[in-house]
Every structure is written in structure tokens, then in C-alpha cells.
């Protein structure tokens, strides 16, 4: 239970407190010493145990302190800011602030934050944060604007992770009472959330939980506050109200209660929503409250007053005032943990059934007292023995949690464990789990090389396609092994698989109507499949087969095989290491792949941009590069195949037309250069010129 002890005046000296009170009270490097900054020119160091000042420092006449003085716990020096931009640093031996270290900053300072064990941070009025050492190295460095002017009536919370430079903006929604005004707030931090408690003009205290690690730091997020305590203070307090958190379960509130006109300091238990204690302050306050250690500081009247407080661990009996602090003589004290197997002096007999119940109860208590196993360890233990369905559920649960610092490691260990079990148990193949883990975008081939090896053995084309899309470091030998499977797998087997079709467009919609065949021949992007200017090929192609037009306009592979081949086209490779492996692919499969590439080239030629429709389709460069790679590796084999003769002739005409196109482009380039020269001469003329334009 919380208790406020007898107050005492820290100093009889009347402080220079303005209309808004003192600038601040801050902890010094010693537990019972505090820096008090008034609203004028003075900083005073007080020792609470002796109730007297140890030192006093003032700025010159005409200057004014604009930021509370703090202690640098690393150097045991004091820091203060006057006139918004002038920073001073001194120690106990210095007497005159005018002769101590001085640094003039480029932006106005709002507050200096100093916590034991860390470097002081300087918070500027526009929201930027700088470490003290980095700021002193270049005091005139440019300070960016973080907090912009917002619309009137809105409240925002900015959370800045100083080490990672991540800034997240939250919009605070006030809920039902949108007309209320936040008059005071305090915050506490745990491992997962920042608890922001605010005291509004309606006399109620609200809580807003802000996640420390947001899901999308770049996006403006919205938070709704929840009611914590109702009707704590009156809405007509003269000098304002103040709120501060004492510990996890208690808060201190400074203001007038609903039923009284005098100001009070009250302590509330937010866990059980009960008033613990209160103390009247008849001389009035400035509406300011600070706490350090076991002391509450406030300006009572014109003097700085200290009220010690003590706070015990929260319990329902203590919150209701029914906790007995003393024990009567002879009272048997029950231990906190009871051994149910030994008698406690209650005169109960030991029956076997009763004893077995107690043993079972004790075991349940022991299990409940065991430390909670982290989700990552639970997952790693699950994959070694549970069924595929249960593993899939556990993987989905783990991926739904927020990413922890060891997320990448856990994913890698999980995949390794699954693959080891796959090798030990041939019937075990958790395909859905592997797909989920690959889609986390944290894996690579070098982290789990066995993954694609097992997928190749299983001929799992969906998993292989996903790996080709996600892994940037797949060896050329593995890429060719995937290509062999993609070309050799039957169409019936492909129909049963579920592959990504993003890179494949609807070929039937992109083909021109049959009416185009009746129109005059049109040259498209310098190439037409009907072009026939090869003198050596005239006799071979004078009589075209009836299905030639159909071959040039229909895709030689089914859409799902096309999607798999597109994944090969997008994969990274080195020509030197890829060519030897391409020679191992059967000639009929090479011919099929060349026909597909030639078909893609025809589709690229149908529009001026030379691109294919769809999401992430193969590019023209990728198509041409793979045509060259396949021909370089297998030309001597393909040229001997009668069924590949027409394809090679078409590819020859393709290359010939491209040479013609580039020749024309070179001519156009010369014209563009001349136009560019004329344009430069025009821009280089003087400020005044007369031009004669001939219109004809």
C-alpha cells in the first residue's frame, strides 16, 4: 500500500518561479542531490538529506535559462541552455557560468535528456535528436525538422529510436469525448510497449499503448486510448494538474478532487483502481510534479517542498486497506509455497486419495512455475517429432508473431531441422511449411543448399520456381537442373501443380485478330515473321506449310510450363559457368526452349515498347541472351536436327532484321546529334535575339 510521509521544505529561499512555475527538477550524480532550475537565471544544487543548497549558478543579466539543467552522469558535469540556443557545461568547482564552456547551436533546444549509463541526448523544438558529443563536435550542424505543424485539435505521438534513426508517427484518437483536452501526461516503458497515460480536462486518466517495434515505421498509424481511472480530479483546477507514474501499479496526481476546492496530492492504484492516499496542499501549487527515488517534488506556495513516499507490492488486500502489517503472538505464519505432502498443523489425516491429489496439485504448481519456453525453441522442438499438419500450424503461428532480433537465425535453424528430418525420413516432406519459410524473404541458397536438392529429387516444380524467384545465389548447375525438369515434366503432371502465373500473360488476347492475315504485310519494329529476303532460303520457304502461321502465333508450351521457364529467364547466372551445363540438356528440350524464346520475341515485336504485358514478364534482353546461350552451347547438335531447320532459319532472319534495325537507328542518331547541336547554339545566344521563322 502506498503512503505519503510528512512533507518538509527543501529551502526557505523563495525561488524565482514564473507564472508556469519552475523549469524543472533533475537528479544529480548523487542519489540525494538534485538540480533545481527556476524560470529566471538560476540553477541551484540541493542536498535533500541536509535540506540545504550546496551550490548556485546564474547566467548574466539579460539572459534567461530556457531549458532545465541536467547532469551528465558519464562526466559528472552539469548542462544548461539559455536563450534557446546557447549551451553551457560546468562542474562543482566553477563559480561563474559566463566563464565556463559555451557552444552556440543552430536550432532552438526543447529539452536535454540524461539517464544514468548513457550519453545525454539533446531534443530540439522541431523534434530532431542529437547525441551531446556529436552535437558538440559540430554545434552549427543543420538540424532537420521532424515535427511539422499539425491541424488544430489533433494529438500526435512521435516515437524515435535514436540508435536506428527510426521515427514513427502515431495519431492519438481521444475516443468518445473528442472535445476533451490533454492537460498532463506521463509515460513508462517495458520490453514491448510504451504506456502513455494522459490526464484530460474531463478529470479522467486514459492509457494508450504504443508498440516499441512498429510493423510499418514509415506509415502514419492510429492509436485509440482506453479509460484507466474515472473522475480523478476536478475540471476547474486553478493552477493546472500534473500526473506522474510512480511504479508499475501506482500513479501520483496533483489537482483538486471532485468534492473539494483545495488542491491535493493523491496516489492511485491503477491495478485495482483505488485511491491509496492523499494530502491537502492549502497554499496551492504550480501544477508541477517531479519524482526521483522515494521523493516527490512540488512547488507548494513559493517554496520547494519534498514529500517522501513508500510503495509496497500491490495486492487486493492492500488496495482495499485490509492488509494487516503485524502478526499477533502465537499466530501461525503460512509459508508462501506450501508443501502439500507434509502436515501444516491443521489436524487433517493422510489418506491415500488425498495425498495423491496433493501430489498432483504440487506437480501442477511446479509446471506453472517453470519459465516460459520462447516460441522459437518451441518451434525447433516441434519440427523434430510432430506431424506435418501440426508443424504447419506451429510455423504459421510463429510467423504471425512480430519479428525478433533472432528471427533470421530461427528461420534458418527451422529449415535446417526440417531438411535433416526429410533426409532421415523419406516419407516426411512438409512442403507447405517450406513454402511459408521461403516466402519470409530471409533465406538464400547458401543458407540451405539441401532445400533445392530435395526439391529436385521430389520434382517439386512449385518449390523450385519459388526458390528461383527468391534466392539470389543459386549455382548455375542447379539452375540447369531446374531447367531440365521444367522441360521434361509432362503436361498432365503440370496441370496438377500450383505454380505462380504472374509472369505469364493471356497469349490469346495479345494475338492480333485473324483479319490481320488478310491485310497488307506490316513491318513491326523492324521485323516481320513473314519477311523472306534470304536468297539461300527462298527455295526452302517458297511453299510455306499451312501451320507456319499457327506456329508463329501460338505458344509452343502450356502456360504453367511458360511460367516455370520465365523463372529460369529471370535467374542470375555467369555465362562462363552456365555454358558447360547447358550442353547436358537433351537436344529436343533445347529445341522446345528455343521455340518458346522465339515466340516471346515475336510477342515483343508486336508493340513499339518491345515489352511483354503482365506482371514481371521476361525482358527482351533476357530473351536474346538465352537464345545466344542455347545456340552457343548446342548449335552443332541442333543444326543436325531436321525438325529444328525451320527454327534456325527464323532465328537467322531475326538476327538479320535486328542488324537492319540497328543500322537505321544509327542513322537516326546522327540526325538527333545535329538537332542537339542546333538546340545548344540556340540556348547559347545572348539575352536578346531576333529570329525569322519561315512558314510554308
105-124, pLDDT tens digit by residue? 999 999 999 988 889 999 99
Distance CA 388, CA 399 (A): 16
Which helix (H) or strand (E) is 172 found in, with range? Answer: strand 166-173
Long-range CB contacts (within 8 A, 24+) of 458-463: 458/429, 459/485, 459/489, 460/431, 461/485, 461/486, 461/489, 461/494, 461/497, 461/499, 461/564, 462/435, 462/497, 462/498, 462/499, 463/431, 463/434, 463/435, 463/438
What pLDDT was estimated at residue 44?
Answer: 92
- Strand-by-strand arrangement of the 33-37 sheet: 24-27, 33-37, 42-47, 52-58
DSSP 644: G
Distance (Å, whole) CA 63 – CA 60: 6
Q: Is the pLDDT of residue 171 over 70?
A: yes
Q: Summarize the confidence of residues 247-253 as an average pLDDT.
A: 87
- What pTM was computed for the model? 0.48
Closest by Cα among 65, 80, 70 to 22: 65
pLDDT digits 0-9 by tens, 584-595? 999 889 889 988
Q: Residues near 371 by Cβ (< 8 Å), separated by ≥ 6? A: none
Within 13 Å of residue 549, how many CA atoms lie on the same side as its CB? 10
What is residue 218's predicted lDDT score, i.e. its pLDDT?
72
As a whole number, mean pLDDT of residues 604-618 equals: 80
Whether residue 79 is predicted with pLDDT greater than 90 in this model: the reply is yes
Which residues fall within 8 angstroms of residue 329, CB to CB, at 6 or more apart?
A: none
Residue 631: predicted pLDDT:
87
Q: What is the mean pLDDT of the chain?
A: 78
pLDDT of residue 491: 87
pLDDT computed for residue 499 by the predictor: 87
Q: Which residue has the higher pLDDT, 670 or 218?
A: 670
pLDDT attached to residue 335 = 33
C-alpha dihedral over 683, 686, 692, 696, to 10 degrees? Answer: 0
Rounded to the nearest 10 degrees, how much is the dihedral formed by the CA atoms of 585, 591, 595, 597? 30
pLDDT band at residue 88 under the 50/70/90 scheme? very high
C-alpha to C-alpha distances, 559 to 278, 554, 611, nearest whole angstrom:
77, 11, 18
288-332 tens-digit pLDDT: 899 888 899 988 887 889 999 887 665 555 555 544 444 444 433
Give the residue among 97, 90, 132, 129 at the shortest CA–CA distance from 110. Answer: 129
d(CA 67, CA 250) in angstroms, rounded, equals 29
pLDDT value for 14: 54
Q: Using one digit for the tens of pLDDT, what is the confidence trace for 537-555?
A: 444 444 444 444 444 568 8
- What's the pLDDT tens digit per position in 421-456? 888 888 889 888 898 899 888 888 988 889 999 999
User: Out of 398-412, 608-622, 677-691, which region has the weakest mean confidence (pLDDT)?
Assistant: 677-691
Q: What distance, in Å, lies between the first and last C-alpha atoms of the chain?
A: 100
Could you tell me the CATH superfamily of domain 13-137? YVTN repeat-like/Quinoprotein amine dehydrogenase (2.130.10.10)
Higher local confidence (pLDDT), 215 or 484 = 484
> If you average pLDDT over each of 117-126, 235-244, 258-267, 646-655, which comes out highest?
117-126
C-alpha cell at 537: 532460303
Over residues 370-374, the mean pLDDT reads 52
- pLDDT at position 72, please? 94
Q: Pick the more confident residue, 665 or 546.
A: 665
pLDDT at 67: 93
Rounded Cα distance, 572 and 472, in Å: 7
Which among 232, 222, 244 is positioned nearest to 175, based on CA atoms?
222
Amino acid at each position: 500500500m502506498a503512503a505519503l510521509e510528512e512533507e518538509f521544505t527543501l529551502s526557505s529561499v523563495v525561488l524565482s518561479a514564473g507564472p508556469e512555475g519552475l523549469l524543472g527538477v533533475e537528479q544529480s550524480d548523487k542519489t540525494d542531490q538534485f538540480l533545481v532550475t527556476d524560470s529566471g537565471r538560476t540553477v541551484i544544487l540541493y542536498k535533500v538529506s541536509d535540506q540545504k543548497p550546496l551550490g548556485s549558478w546564474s547566467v548574466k543579466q539579460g539572459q534567461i535559462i530556457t531549458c532545465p539543467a541536467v547532469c551528465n552522469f558519464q562526466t559528472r558535469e552539469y548542462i544548461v541552455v539559455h536563450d534557446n540556443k546557447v549551451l553551457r557545461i560546468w562542474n562543482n568547482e566553477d563559480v561563474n557560468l559566463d566563464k565556463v564552456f559555451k557552444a552556440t547551436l543552430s536550432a532552438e533546444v526543447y529539452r536535454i535528456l540524461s539517464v544514468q549509463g548513457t550519453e545525454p541526448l539533446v531534443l530540439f523544438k522541431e523534434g530532431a535528436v542529437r547525441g551531446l558529443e556529436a552535437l558538440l563536435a559540430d554545434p552549427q550542424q543543420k538540424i532537420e525538422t521532424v515535427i511539422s505543424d499539425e491541424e488544430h485539435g489533433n494529438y500526435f505521438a512521435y516515437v524515435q529510436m535514436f540508435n536506428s534513426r527510426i521515427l514513427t508517427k502515431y495519431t492519438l484518437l481521444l475516443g468518445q469525448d473528442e472535445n476533451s483536452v490533454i492537460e498532463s501526461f506521463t509515460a513508462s516503458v517495458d520490453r514491448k510497449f510504451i504506456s502513455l497515460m494522459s490526464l484530460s480536462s474531463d478529470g479522467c486518466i486514459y492509457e494508450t499503448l504504443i508498440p516499441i517495434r512498429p510493423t510499418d515505421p514509415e506509415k502514419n498509424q492510429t492509436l485509440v486510448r482506453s479509460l484507466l481511472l474515472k473522475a480523478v480530479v476536478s475540471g476547474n483546477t486553478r493552477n493546472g494538474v500534473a500526473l506522474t507514474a510512480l511504479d508499475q501499479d501506482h500513479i501520483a496526481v496533483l489537482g483538486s478532487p471532485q468534492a473539494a476546492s483545495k488542491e491535493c496530492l493523491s496516489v492511485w492504484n491503477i491495478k485495482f483502481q483505488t485511491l491509496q492516499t492523499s494530502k491537502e496542499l492549502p497554499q496551492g501549487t504550480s501544477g508541477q510534479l517531479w519524482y526521483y527515488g522515494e521523493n516527490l517534488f512540488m512547488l507548494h506556495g513559493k517554496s520547494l517542498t519534498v514529500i517522501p513516499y513508500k510503495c509496497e507490492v500491490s495486492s487486493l488486500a492492500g488496495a482495499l486497506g485490509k492488509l494487516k502489517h503485524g502478526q499477533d503472538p502465537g499466530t501461525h505464519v503460512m509459508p508462501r509455497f506450501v508443501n502439500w505432502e507434509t502436515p501444516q498443523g491443521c489436524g487433517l489425516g493422510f489418506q491415500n486419495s488425498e495425498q495423491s491429489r496433493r501430489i498432483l496439485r504440487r506437480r501442477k504448481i511446479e509446471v506453472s512455475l517453470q519459465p516460459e519456453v520462447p516460441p522459437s525453441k518451441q518451434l525447433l522442438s516441434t519440427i523434430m517429432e510432430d506431424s506435418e499438419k501440426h508443424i504447419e500450424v506451429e510455423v504459421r503461428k510463429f510467423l504471425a508473431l512480430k519479428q525478433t532480433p533472432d528471427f533470421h537465425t530461427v528461420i534458418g535453424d527451422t529449415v535446417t531441422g526440417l531438411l535433416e528430418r526429410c533426409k532421415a525420413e523419406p516419407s516426411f516432406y512438409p512442403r507447405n511449411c517450406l513454402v511459408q519459410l521461403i516466402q519470409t524473404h530471409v533465406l538464400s541458397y547458401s543458407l540451405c543448399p539441401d532445400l533445392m536438392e530435395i526439391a529436385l529429387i521430389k520434382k517439386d516444380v512449385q518449390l523450385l520456381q519459388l526458390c528461383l524467384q527468391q534466392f539470389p545465389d543459386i549455382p548455375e548447375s542447379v539452375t540447369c537442373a531446374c531447367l531440365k525438369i521444367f522441360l521434361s515434366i509432362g503436361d498432365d503432371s503440370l496441370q496438377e501443380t500450383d505454380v505462380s502465373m504472374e509472369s505469364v500473360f493471356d497469349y490469346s488476347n495479345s494475338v492480333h485478330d485473324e483479319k490481320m492475315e488478310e491485310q497488307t504485310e506490316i513491318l513491326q519494329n523492324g521485323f516481320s515473321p513473314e519477311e523472306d529476303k534470304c536468297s539461300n532460303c527462298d527455295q526452302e520457304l517458297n511453299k510455306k506449310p499451312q501451320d507456319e502461321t499457327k506456329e508463329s502465333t501460338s505458344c509452343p508450351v502450356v502456360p504453367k510450363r511458360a511460367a516455370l521457364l520465365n523463372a529460369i529467364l529471370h535467374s542470375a547466372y555467369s555465362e562462363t559457368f552456365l555454358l558447360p551445363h547447358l550442353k547436358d540438356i537433351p537436344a529436343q528440350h533445347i529445341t522446345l526452349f528455343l521455340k518458346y524464346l522465339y515466340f516471346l520475341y515475336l510477342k515483343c515485336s508486336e508493340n513499339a515498347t518491345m515489352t511483354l504485358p503482365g506482371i514481371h514478364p521476361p525482358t527482351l534482353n533476357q530473351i536474346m541472351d538465352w537464345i545466344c546461350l542455347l545456340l552457343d552451347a548446342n548449335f552443332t547438335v541442333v543444326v543436325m536436327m531436321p525438325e529444328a531447320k525451320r527454327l534456325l532459319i527464323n532465328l537467322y532472319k531475326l538476327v538479320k532484321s535486328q542488324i537492319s534495325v540497328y543500322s537505321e537507328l544509327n542513322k537516326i542518331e546522327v540526325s538527333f546529334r545535329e538537332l542537339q547541336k542546333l538546340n545548344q547554339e540556340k540556348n547559347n545566344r545572348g539575352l536578346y535575339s531576333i529570329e525569322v521563322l519561315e512558314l510554308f
